[in-house]
């Protein structure tokens, strides 16, 4: 077993373009999309380029009551969860999990969960299971669900949800 010359490095990269996993993917439109954060692991000793860099994609959204025409609940699903499923975004491409962070402004956790799951059920383009909350703290709630991605690899994807209360 070879001795490591350099340690594996980690970095949190905000608004960075999606990384192609193969030479064939370079320049594809989805590589121009920018998730909110990517937690990137780089292994300089890895010989295979596809394995040399791994990314954990994090998308963040505000959660609260609708303001004028801006529906935060709808955005969480359409401009959040669906980006991990959609071929034109491919968030989390090449990895088996990612995360959504919801910043709660002015609603109760149970009402947010109910409304998000209603939006999930009412959209027709993707088969998305309801979110189930597994940890229920006063300031933070955590949950996850497994997505079956038809046009993004790997097809089985664990999307974790972390909701943080920013209410006074």
Q: How many domains does the chain have?
A: 1
Report if residue 96 sits inside a domain: yes
Report if residue 4 sits inside a domain: no
Question: What is the value of pTM for the model shown?
Answer: 0.88
Length of the chain measured in residues = 168
pLDDT of 152 over the 70 cut: yes
Report if residue 116 sits inside a domain: yes
What is the rounded distance in angstroms from the CA atom of residue 157 to the CA atom of residue 138? 28
Neighbours of 74 (CB within 10 A): 16
Nearest to 120, CA basis, from 92, 94, 100: 100
- Residue 4: what pLDDT? 52
More confident residue, 128 or 4: 128
Report if residue 17 sits inside a domain: yes
Helices (H), 17-158: 49-52, 72-78, 109-122
Report if residue 105 sits inside a domain: yes
Summary mean pLDDT of the chain: 90
Report if residue 2 sits inside a domain: no
Name 7's Cβ contacts closer than 8 Å, sequence gap at least 6. Answer: none
pLDDT, one tens digit per residue, over 16-53 is: 888 887 788 888 899 899 999 998 887 777 777 667 77
pLDDT of 1 over the 80 cut: no
Report if residue 3 sits inside a domain: no
Domain that holds residue 86: 9-165
Task: Give phi and psi for 73, each to the nearest 5.
Answer: -65, -45
The tokens for 91 are 């968030």
What percentage of the chain exceeds 70 in pLDDT? Answer: 95
pLDDT of 146 over the 60 cut: yes
pLDDT, one tens digit per residue, over 110-125 is: 999 999 999 999 999 9
Report if residue 71 sits inside a domain: yes
């Amino acid at each position: 077993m070879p001795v490591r010359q350099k340690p594996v490095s980690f970095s949190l990269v905000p608004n960075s373009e999606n990384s192609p996993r193969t030479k064939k993917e370079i320049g594809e439109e989805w590589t121009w999309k920018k998730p909110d954060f990517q937690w990137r692991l780089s292994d300089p000793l890895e010989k295979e380029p596809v394995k040399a860099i791994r990314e954990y994609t994090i998308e963040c959204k505000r959660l609260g009551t609708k303001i004028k025409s801006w529906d935060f609940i709808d955005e969480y699903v359409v401009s959040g969860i669906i980006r991990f499923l959609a071929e034109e975004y491919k968030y989390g491409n090449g990895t088996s999990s990612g995360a959504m962070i919801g910043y709660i402004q002015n609603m109760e956790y149970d009402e947010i969960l109910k409304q998000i799951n209603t939006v999930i059920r009412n959209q027709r383009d993707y088969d998305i299971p309801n979110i189930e909350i597994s940890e229920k703290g006063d300031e933070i709630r955590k949950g996850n669900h497994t997505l079956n991605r038809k046009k993004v690899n790997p097809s089985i994807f664990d999307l974790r949800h972390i909701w943080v209360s920013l209410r006074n």
